Structure 1
Amino acid sequence: IQEQVPWSEMAPAGIALRATVLCLVAWVGLAAGDRVYIHPFHLLVYTKSSCEQLEKSNAETLKEPTFTPIPIQANTAQVDEEALRHQLVLTVEKLEAEDKQRATMVGMLANFLGFRMYKALSDMWNTAGGAGGAGGTGVLSPTTLFGTLASFYLGAMDPTAHRLQALLGVPGEDEDCTSRLDGHKVLSALQAIQGLLVAQGRADGQARLLLSTVVGLFTDPSLRLKQTFIQSLDLFTPIVLPRSVDLSSDPDLAAAEIDRFMQAVTGQKISSVVGVQADSTLLFNTYVHFQGKVKGFFLLAEHQEFWVDNSTSVSVPMLSGTGIFQHWNDTQNNFSVTRVPLGESACLLLVQPHYASDLDKVEALAFQHDFSSWMKNLSPRAIHLTMPQLLLQGSHNLQDLLAQAKLPTLLGTKATLGKISDTNLRVGKVMNSILFELKADDGDQPTESAQQPDGPEVLELTLSSPFLFAVYERDSSAIHFLGRVANPLSMV
């Protein structure tokens, strides 16, 4: 990643990239056995035949049709989230074996980048004294973040395209076209990853998981966008909404108009754009909504205490359920891990420090590149689990995360984004906005006698102090959400 910073500051990025390559080489080695060596990224880069078409399209870039987005005041229908879920399910039904391999590879790359950016976000929370509560409450979506940056890669030309490719985890030192990342394959794989999460939500056909993604591109009226770029984003989500808004005259008014627009489209009360820069001509907002229902769990009749710290508690709604869950208690590092199924392949991972004061320490240990290594220690255990019902809303500017990761100019004023627009493009904030909901199942509350299964002694486990969580899908190995809960009542 050729950022103009000292090597000492680049080292973490280089180490992360090398770790990604080594993991993928190992993965390919396991898959290939004694067969002829295959480059670990061959599923994501251009083929020789596609390179010819790419060269032709690059030559015609300046001739591509452009358009001015319609005003933000124009009426727009609210998103049908159930229809989006159905589209994702249909996508999964059409996947071939190679598509699933590509999804696994992109899932691994998104995980590596997600861990790195979560660390940057966590550092920002800690520097600011916590987000939304003591110690900070927040959530990040590695797949959404990866998709946003891959979208910019589709609109980029060298040298920005080369640097974005390196950030996404695919080395591109070779000038040959066949070493270049194919952004369309990446976004298609991300769509497959989203589909795998929701398609296997429940064997009885009732959707227990909901995942919807909306992309809003807000441009100054003077900016014209290229149609090919907008059409390419359909691979990431079918809901791509380019809209024009006056970003320069009154930035505060522009921010309010964008918020009203996104609330009308999503049907959710969100606030994501604050402090619009007067000199920007493009804002990019990716909004994702996740709703999960934990099968067999019910909402307790009365609120329970959640201890934010040793002396402060809040009264919160709690979920409770009993089952055989994968569990591991790490006595050496003072935390426990519990895996709760959300579907056939989707899982909720709960990481609870033994001591609330160890949250940051456990977070640094748990959310790192060898995330999956200690998960091998999980074993089945009968558990009666009680945890907060979650309603978390978070928004973060990827420009801030890039700056925290020593890449402050990647999407700055000198970025070459000629495939997005021919005009004077200046990227302002690049927002990822998340609404994360975890609720009880719709079933009736079980009787007291039905809560305790026969067999081994049931472990009583209550998450009544700060904890960490992750939502991941096992078929693709993709982590969809990483988060910390220091105060369940916080709206980040």
Structure 2
Amino acid sequence: MRPRPSISKASQIFQGTQKPVPPSEMAAAGVSLRATILCLLAWAGLALGDRVYIHPFHLLVYSKSSCDQLEKSNAETPKDSTFTPVPIQAKMSPVDEEALQEQQVLTAKKLEAEDRMRAAEVGMLLNFMGFRMYKMLSEMCSTASSAILSPTTLFGTLASFYLGALDPTANRLQAFLGVPGEDQGCTSRLDGHKVLSALQTIQGLLVTQGGANGQARLLLSTVVGLFTAPTLHLKQPFVQGLAPFAPITLPRSLDLSTDPDLAAEKINRFIEAVTGWKMNRPLTGGSPDSTLLFNAYVHFQGKVKGFSLLPGLQEFWVDNTTSVLVPMLSGMGTFQHWRDAQNNLSMTRVPLSENACLLLIQPHCSSDLCKVEALTFQHDFLMRMKNLSPRPIHLTVPQLVLRGSYDLQDLLTQAKLPTLLGAEANLGKISDANLRVGKVLNSVLFELKAAEEEQPIQSAQQSEVLEVTLNHPFLFAVYERDSTALHFLGRVTNPLSTV
């Protein structure tokens, strides 16, 4: 019999064979116990029969050769070059979203098997973080309001800070991202470039439409703004390293201390001029002693094949006594569906492309929305997909234009990690200066429309068709099949209200 692979201290901790880590450290790691055990067992299975231990996330950490090269370059290479961002008034060409889309499709066509495996690892990590942070966001917001969160953007934001961090901040960020640090050796350290590259793969897989022409019906654009105090110098390798996650990265300087509200207004005007996106409520002023604001903006536009916009406005019931008039999309086809009588909810899955899916979760009673939200947006979310089965359905759903903004610093405070990106954070790979991070904003513009240029999907006879109408509060998710990465989680209580 071949010997079993060696088990690291981290895996022994999670399997209960070592003294447990303190609760505060476990919370900081942000990893579900069940998820970690599953990951470790899965990768242990791949290594069965080998004497060499394989890190459970070996595709995301430094290899031995990379560590040797890193050590050599650190000894030989001078300090990283720095630059001062140009003033925010500097003009530039508007973002070309179609060009970004073509670039994503081209990248997806060149993927190798290892790229897809790496994307699956990151997809799993960002899903677990997304569920946890969505819970924090929903607790901060009124349950009567809509909500939207992008797990990929959130994870990418934290991975970006990891790319710019030194220990002990880098170690804490790695734990929070969900990757155990093992013995703190180089081959146990997360490679931030690999993580951001995997996010690029995940983005490309979402928008790529299968078939001979490889055309996309979805838009997914990510823009990062690095807004700095006028005297702050940024390191060139850090800014360049963000390109896989955010191909449009805009370093700009302005006075953040004299009038934070005025600075916020300038930032909002600048981003709207560059992107053309009308985001949610304007960014409010932050702390006057901040020297860096990190703002990530994501725009998603999905067009549902075979759906058309109904004539006139239709009623959407916000509650049992109040309705609003909204534009509605309607289509007929064979969709995956499940009616969960035990939990009083229904799920319908609608394809947005060959790889992308829109999942609609409808409580049978509007007052059960929060209960259904807590039940479904959990770590076993995608396991529920096995219950879906094809049904001929006539589906009616609101046309959506959702705008949401949240400060990641607030979510970290809710997660009892208020100092993770605080004044003591060591972000020496971003700047040599004594950096003070202010707001870390994630803003989402989510659009769901009809692909009216296409013919409606043919369905079964009318007598066999199930009517599904989402005209009262519901939940939704957008995910990509190959990596299983969740791109958006949301709650719609009123399609006309801001998030």
TM-score category by the smaller chain?
over 0.9
Cα pair 1:202 1:343 within 8 Å, conserved: no
Q: 229-238 or 411-420: which moved more? A: 229-238
1:103 corresponds, among 119, 128, 152, to 119
Q: Does 1:424 align with 2:446?
A: no
1:94 partner amino acid? K
Question: Given the two structures, how large is their TM-score scaled by the length of structure 2?
Answer: 0.91
Give the direction of change, closer, same or farther, for the CA distance of 1:61–1:108 in structure 2 (3 Å limit).
farther
1:459 corresponds, among 466, 474, 480, to 466
1:332 partner amino acid? Q
Q: Does 1:468 align with 2:499?
A: no
Unpaired segments ≥5 residues, structure 1: none
Unpaired segments ≥5 residues, structure 2: 1-9, 11-20
1:263 aligns to what?
272
Q: State the shift of 1:235 in Å.
A: 2.0
Q: State the shift of 1:54 in Å.
A: 2.4
Give the direction of change, closer, same or farther, for the CA distance of 1:32–1:473 in structure 2 (3 Å limit).
farther
Q: State the shift of 1:252 in Å.
A: 1.0
Q: Does 1:437 align with 2:447?
A: yes
2:31 aligns to what?
16
Q: State the shift of 1:29 in Å.
A: 5.4
2:135 partner amino acid? K
2:316 corresponds, among 299, 306, 309, to 306
Matches within 5 A, 1:50-199: 50-58=66-74, 63-125=79-141, 129-130=142-143, 135-199=144-208
How many Å separate the matches in 2 of 1:140 and 1:433?
9
Q: Does 1:222 align with 2:227?
A: no
Q: 212-221 or 436-445: which moved more? A: 436-445
Q: State the shift of 1:238 in Å.
A: 1.7
Cα RMSD (Å): 2.2
Instruction: State the identity %.
Output: 69
The secondary structure found in structure 2 opposite 1:387 is strand
How many Å separate the matches in 2 of 1:313 and 1:459?
24
1:340 aligns to what?
350
1:479 partner amino acid? L
How many Å separate the matches in 2 of 1:14 and 1:399?
16
Matches within 5 A, 1:247-326: 247-270=256-279, 271-326=281-336
How many Å separate the matches in 2 of 1:319 and 1:439?
7
Give the direction of change, closer, same or farther, for the CA distance of 1:378–1:264 in structure 2 (3 Å limit).
same
1:396 aligns to what?
406
The secondary structure found in structure 2 opposite 1:406 is coil
1:472 partner amino acid? Y
Q: 172-181 or 149-158: which moved more? A: 172-181
Q: State the shift of 1:276 in Å.
A: 2.1
2:36 partner amino acid? V
Q: State the shift of 1:90 in Å.
A: 1.2
1:408 corresponds, among 397, 418, 422, to 418
Give the direction of change, closer, same or farther, for the CA distance of 1:274–1:363 in structure 2 (3 Å limit).
same
Cα pair 2:209 2:217 within 8 Å, conserved: no
The secondary structure found in structure 1 opposite 2:242 is helix
Cα pair 2:223 2:296 within 8 Å, conserved: yes
1:484 partner amino acid? R
2:100 partner amino acid? L
2:426 partner amino acid? T
2:489 aligns to what?
482
